[in-house]
Amino acid sequence: MKHIRNFCIIAHIDHGKSTLADRLLDATGTVTDREKQAQLLDSMDLERERGITIKSHAIQMDYVYNGEEYTLNLIDTPGHVDFSYEVSRSIAACEGALLIVDAAQSIQAQTISNLYLALENDLEIIPILNKVDLPSANIEEVTDDIVDLLGCKPEEVIPASAKTGQGIDEILSAIIERIPPPKGNPDESLQALIFDSVYNPFRGVETYFRVLNGEIKKGQHIKFMATGKSYYADEVGTLRLKQFPREVIKTGDVGYLITGIKEAKEVKVGDTITDSKNPTVNMIEGFEDVKPMVFAGIYPVDTEDYEELRSSMEKLQLNDASLVFVPESSMALGFGFRCGFLGMLHLEIIQERLEREFDMTVITTVPNVSYHAFSNKEPDTPILVNNPSDLPDPSKLNRVEEPYIKATVITKSDFVGSVMSLCIEKRGEITNQTYLTTERVELTFDMPLAEIVFDFYDRLKTVSKGYASFDYSPIGMRMSHLVKVDVLLNGNIVDALSALLHRDNAYDIGKKICEKLRELIPRQQFDIPIQAAIGAKIIARETVKALRKDVTAKCYGGDISRKRKLLEKQKKGKKRMRQVGNVEIPQEAFMAVLKLND
C-alpha cells in the first residue's frame, strides 16, 4: 500500500491539464507510440471538438523511483465551472492534487474554488506553474500569487511546460515524495467508494471505485449500501487505457467493477460497496447533493420515443450524476422530462450527448421554475404551476408567489460594483456585504430563483472576468407581480415558448423574444406575424416577410390595371395560404430565447 499514490489534476479551463496528463503518461511509459495522441484522456468526440474536458478520467501508471516501483492513479478533471461536480467526485477519491496555474494567465476563479474543494478534503496540494516556455509568461509574478494563495514556499512551486516536457520528472518525484500513501486497514471488511460509473451496452453498468478498507476479489458476493442490493463481482480490474482484469484489488487502489447490472437506477455515485456476508458498519459520507441552476423541459420529437428517452437519460445520469430529471407533459409537445442542469453549457452538452450517443432527437423548452398560484375562490390553497400553461385565467387569479433564494456571491473587490448592478437588475435586494480579505468580498442577496435561471450565471462570469463564485439556498415563496407572456405565431399560441415574467420586464423581454424569433424562423410563402401577448393584449409584434414570386414579370409594358389584377390574385392566394399554413419552429429558436442578451 505504501507504493500507491492517488492524485487528481485541478485547474481553470485551458490551463493545460489534459496536455500535462499526456506528458505524465509518456514519461511513465503507460502509452505506446502507436496509441499516442494529443489530449489522450478526452475520449469523447464532443470533448475533442470543443477542446474542453467534460468527464473526469481515471488511469493507472507505473513508475520506478529510486529503484522502487510505484503505482500512480491519476484522475484528470474538467476545468469548466458547469462540470465542477465531476471535480468534487474525483477529489473524494484522492489523497493529493496537482494545482496547475497558467504562467501567462495567473490564478482564475475555478482554480480558487477547486482549491477550496481540495483543502476541505485535506488533500496535499502540489502547485505547478505551467506554460513557462511562453513568451508572455510572468514567472516571478504568478509564483508570488501562488505563494500568497497557498502559503507555501516559492521553491515548492514547480515550473513546467506540458508542451516541451520541462519539469515532468520533478512533478513525478514530487507526487511520490509529497503525496501521502493511502490510509486504510486491509484486514477490515470491504469498504469502497463509487466515484463514477458508465453504461456499456454489452456488459451493463461498469462501476469505478476506490477501496478504502479491505479488498475486493473476483467472484466475491458484494452489496451496494444505498440500494441494499447484492451482486456477484463478475470482473474487477485496474484502469489503464484499456481495462486490465485482476483477481483482487487491494486497499487504497482504484479500479473498475462489472456485475452485469442492467438497470441504471441501481448504481448511485457516492455509494459504498461492501461484502454482503460481512458488511461494514460505516457508510462512507457521499458527495453533497447537486444544486441545479437551470431547469428546462426535454421532449422527444416523436412522442413514441418517450420510454426510449427515459432509458437514455438514466444511462446518461450514470455518467453525469449532476443531471436531475422528473417526467412532465406539455400540450404542444406531449410527454417529456423537466430536467435540472448546472448551467447553459451543461444543457447544451447533455442535448448533444443525447443526440450523438443515444440517437435521440429532442426539443428543449424555455427554462423556468415552479410557482404557486392562488385563485379567488380558494385564496389559501396553492395551485402548483410548473408550466406557464397551468396558470389560471387572470380574472380568477388572486395572487402568484414565486420561489426566492438567498444568493451568496464571492468575488474580487474590483468587481463589486458590476456584480451589484447585475443582481439589482435581476430584482435582487442586497442583504449583506463582508470583506473576507482585502481582495475578496462576500455579497449576499435575496432574489427570485426565476431570475438566475436564464443567463445570470453566464453574465456573472462575464462581469467578474470569471472570478465570481456563486452559491444559493432556497428561502421560501414570496408574492410577486407576475404575468404570463404568450408567444403567438401566425395567430396560434406556442405553449413551449410561453413564460411567466415580472410585469416590469414583460414588455422588454416580449419584444426581444419577437426580434429573436424573426431572425430564426425561415421565410414561408406567406407573411408570418410573431406576437407577444399578455392575455388578449398584444405587447410586441414582428413580421417575417413572405417569399414572393414576381407575378408581373410577364407583363411587358401594358396597362397598370392588368398588373394590379395579378397582384390582387396573388394577395388572395397568400391570404388563403396563411389560414391553412403551419409554421415549423426550428430547434435553434427554443435555444435562442434563452440567450436574449447576446
412 among the known binding-site residues?
A: no
Nearest in space to 298 (alpha carbons), one of 345, 339, 331, 344: 339
What is the helix (H) or strand (E) element at residue 420, kind and residue range?
Answer: helix 416-425
19 among the known binding-site residues?
A: yes
Residues forming beta bridges with residue 543, ordered by sequence position: 529
Nearest in space to 199 (alpha carbons), one of 24, 55, 395, 69: 55
What is the helix (H) or strand (E) element at residue 363, kind and residue range?
Answer: strand 362-364
Torsion of CA 115, 116, 118, 119, to 10 degrees: 120
227 among the known binding-site residues?
A: no
18 among the known binding-site residues?
A: yes
Residue 33 exposure: Cα atoms within 13 Å on the Cβ side: 0
Dihedrals phi, psi of 96, to nearest 5 degrees: -145, 165
Q: Are 175 and 8 in contact (CB under 8 A)?
A: no
Measure the CA–CA gap between 86 and 296, rounded to whole angstroms.
Answer: 21
133 among the known binding-site residues?
A: yes
14 among the known binding-site residues?
A: yes
Supply 494's cell numbers: 406556442
Q: Which amino acid is at 518?
A: R
Supply 266's cell numbers: 441501481
The DSSP code sequence of 10-37 is EESTTSSHHHHHHHHHHHTT-S-TTT--
Measure the CA–CA gap between 205 and 194, rounded to whole angstroms.
Answer: 12
502 among the known binding-site residues?
A: no
Beta strand segments in 155-214, E:
158-159, 191-200, 204-213
390 among the known binding-site residues?
A: no
Nearest in space to 208 (alpha carbons), one of 63, 343, 59: 59
Q: Are 342 and 292 in contact (CB under 8 A)?
A: yes
Q: Residues 6 or more apart from 281 whose CB is under 8 A from it?
A: none
Q: How far is CA 479 from CA 97, 222, 382, 505, in A?
A: 46, 51, 12, 16
Measure the CA–CA gap between 82 and 16, rounded to whole angstroms.
Answer: 18
Stated length of the chain: 598
Residue 563 exposure: Cα atoms within 13 Å on the Cβ side: 10
- Please state the residue numbers annotated as binding site: 14-19, 130-133
Binding-site sequence positions for GTP:
14-19, 130-133
